[in-house]
Amino acid sequence: MYAIIDGKATAEKIRADIKQRTKELKERTGITPGLAVVIVGDDPASKIYVNNKHKACEQVGFLSDVYALPEATAQDELLSLIDRLNSDPRIHGILVQLPLPRHLSEQAVIARISPEKDVDAFNISNVGKIVNGKFDFAPCTPAGVMKLLTEYGIDPSGKDCVVVGRSNIVGKPMALLLMHANATVTVCHSRTADLASHTRRADILVVAIGKARFITSDMVKPGAVVIDVGMNRDENGKLCGDVDFSSVSEKASYITPVPGGVGPMTITMLLENTLTAAEKHSI
């Protein structure tokens, strides 16, 4: 019988702790954690994400500034805004909502954010810190996965862990965090030959490929912990993950649902990273 890994309940628990730590930081130092979110263009999904982040900040007592820029914003204009936010003492975290319009360089924008305020942990300086294991914060989704494993008493140490997907946002940092937790990690991707032969070995399987219900029960080891990072729409427009929940849940020991699994943890870890940045600033 499988157990659900409840990301919503875990996120609420962590946010309550963040709210209390924020209150204590304000009382002790007068500092209110501040997050600036920059969105360029009118992508509907991005607007929803930004709105959710703004609401989450208000919920825990953060200062939240949203900068909505038109689609035609020039690269220099965007970089100038980031420079201003880098030097703004009220702001402890800067997040530029991706994807950006095609005429803008995501790499240049990420590089411009001060590493101390890069609460997405995408700046090359923070990526390097994650590689060597001496980091202040990690990318939000992989960090959220690690929090869920801890919350449910699932120790990756000595386990065979398979990560399906090699993106800079999820797959690569996920593999690094699992290695830091003493797991043996295999990273699979679109060029992997015989993917199922790898996934069937996994004690912990993390899937982040963006293909609806791609992982089926015949690809999963009995008793595996299955973490579904995917967020897709099926043929009926219903939200679903990269894992075929109905069949895989019959073999898994633990599994994350979609929605309600990893998703709520991502914004929660953004809040925690921003609070960490503010706390470091207060020292």
Question: Catalytic site residues?
Answer: 53, 97, 120
> Going edge to edge, which strands form the sheet with 34-40?
63-69, 34-40, 93-96
- What CA–CA distance (Å, rounded) separates 52 from 242? 23
